[in-house]
Amino acid sequence: MNANSNIEISVVVPTFNEEGNVALLASELKTVLDQLQISAYEIIFIDDGSSDASLEVIKGLRATDRRIHYLQFSRNFGHQHALKAGLDHARGRAVISLDADLQHPPALLSEMITLWRNGAQVVYTRRQDKQQIGLFKKWSAKLFYWIANKLSEVPIEEGTADFRLLDRCVVDAIKGFKESHLFLRGLIPTLGFKQVGIDYQAASRHSGQTKYSFGKMFQFALNGITSSSAKPLYFSIYLGLFFAFCAFIYGCYAIYVALFTNAAITGWASLIASVLFIGGIQMILIGIVGIYLGKLFVQSKQRPTYIIESNSIQAIQHHEA
Ligand code: UDP
Ligand code: MG
């Protein structure tokens, strides 16, 4: 615990090419936080290697308001690492994370903070879909949560995003996780603590483009699933058993055809088809093993998960027990 911090709320915003959004977001956040009469707060923008003027805009905001801080990454490390950096550097007694593009309405902060003041330690949010979210995004997200929940021991609620409030004790717990492939959405529900969910209507992106292309979303989903569960590794056993059983039945049929009918063995096509099919399945399974092996490899190097080039805020030094 950082006992000497008198900052009540830290707001953490991963920012990647959001020059058109940061100023408006900062002013909306300030309005909400001032209305709530928060004694002291800080807004930390994590510039995740933006190539536009995001950082200059943030520095400009900081020139007029010292409660605004920035962390500049040396390159793009990704949303989850930007979030982790924000949690590592935040000093508040509660930390709220939200996206820079105003899809996460700052107005919801008052409800979150009220719940926190009433004892909640995690306030997470559930997105209620509206048309603004593309049909494709909506259905791919649904599919992801369905698969992820089939595979993991602790369910992840559908529609949860990285828009949440965490009490200081939860933030300190997360800091202890040295995972190189962090997936906070899968991790936080497993932590325990007093967790409360609230619903909100997602707004549409204020300015700029989404940073999650289909490829990135697929990667994110794969990372999410393989970060929170080892079950995909066991697939091979069931699939292997299933195909061995099919092969056995087919073998019996082939013997029957050879012995009791006059039809000669004509079908090399079916043979090739089944060989290719099983070959494909094997490659998928080797790929799954490969993903876990790759993660072990990266983790074993113990590299820092992000590099800060410049910042306006120093990480609090913790004395490890
Ligand atoms: N973001 C980031 N690094 C990245 C990609 C995204 O920090 O590599 C930030 C981005 O600036 C935004 C948030 O993560 O604040 C969510 O990104 P986006 O709005 O593009 O995702 P979507 O809402 O489309 O899922
Ligand atoms: Mg967005």
Q: Find the CATH number of the domain harbouring 192.
A: 3.90.550.10
What is the reported pLDDT for 155?
Answer: 65
In a domain, 1, yes or no: no
Is the predicted pLDDT of residue 264 greater than 70, yes or no?
no
Residues 122 and 264 in one domain: no
Ligand 1 and 15: CB distance under 6 A: yes
In a domain, 126, yes or no: yes
Residue range 61-77: mean pLDDT, rounded: 92
Three-class DSSP category at 311: strand
Pocket residue to mutate for ligand 1, from 211, 223, 305, most atoms within 8 A of Cβ: 211
Pocket residue to mutate for ligand 1, from 79, 182, 184, 217, most atoms within 8 A of Cβ: 79
In a domain, 306, yes or no: no
Residues 133 and 166 in one domain: yes
Residues 111 and 183 in one domain: yes
The answer to whether the CB of 49 falls within 8 A of the CB of 128 is: no
Residues 261 and 123 in one domain: no
In a domain, 62, yes or no: yes
What is the reported pLDDT for 2?
Answer: 47
Residues 239 and 213 in one domain: no
Ligand 1 and 21: CB distance under 6 A: no
Looking at the structure of the chain, the number of domains it has is 2
Q: What is d(CA 54, CA 128) in angstroms, rounded to the nearest whole number?
A: 29
Q: What is the pTM of this model?
A: 0.76
Residues 42 and 191 in one domain: yes
- Estimate the crossing angle of helix 79-89 against helix 168-175, to 10 degrees: 120
Residues 211 and 243 in one domain: no
Residues 132 and 252 in one domain: no
Higher pLDDT, 20 or 254: 20
Q: Please give the distance, rounded to the nearest whole angstrom, from the Cα atom of residue 102 to the centre of ligand 1.
A: 11
Token pair of 178 as six digits:
């040295």
Residues 293 and 157 in one domain: no
Is the predicted pLDDT of residue 226 greater than 90, yes or no?
no
What is the reported pLDDT for 11?
Answer: 95
Residue range 155-164: mean pLDDT, rounded: 75
Residues 107 and 123 in one domain: yes
Is the predicted pLDDT of residue 319 greater than 60, yes or no?
no
Which of 182, 201, 229 is the last residue in one of the domains?
Answer: 229
What is the reported pLDDT for 224?
Answer: 77
In a domain, 257, yes or no: yes
Residues 106 and 243 in one domain: no
What is the reported pLDDT for 269?
Answer: 62
pLDDT tens digits, 273-317? 677 778 777 878 888 888 888 888 888 888 888 999 998 886 555
Tokens 């997936």 — which residue? 183
pLDDT tens digits, 211-225? 777 777 777 777 877
Tell me which residue range forms the domain holding 191.
9-229
In a domain, 205, yes or no: yes
Query: In the structure, what pLDDT confidence band is assigned to residue 238 with cuts at 50, 70 and 90?
Result: confident
Q: What is d(CA 112, CA 120) in angstroms, rounded to the nearest whole number?
A: 9
Which of 229, 244, 274 is the last residue in one of the domains?
Answer: 229
Token pair of 269 as six digits:
């096509």
The count of residues in the chain is 321
In a domain, 2, yes or no: no
Which of 196, 229, 262 is the last residue in one of the domains?
Answer: 229
Residues 112 and 211 in one domain: yes
Token pair of 237 as six digits:
């056993």
What is the reported pLDDT for 132?
Answer: 60
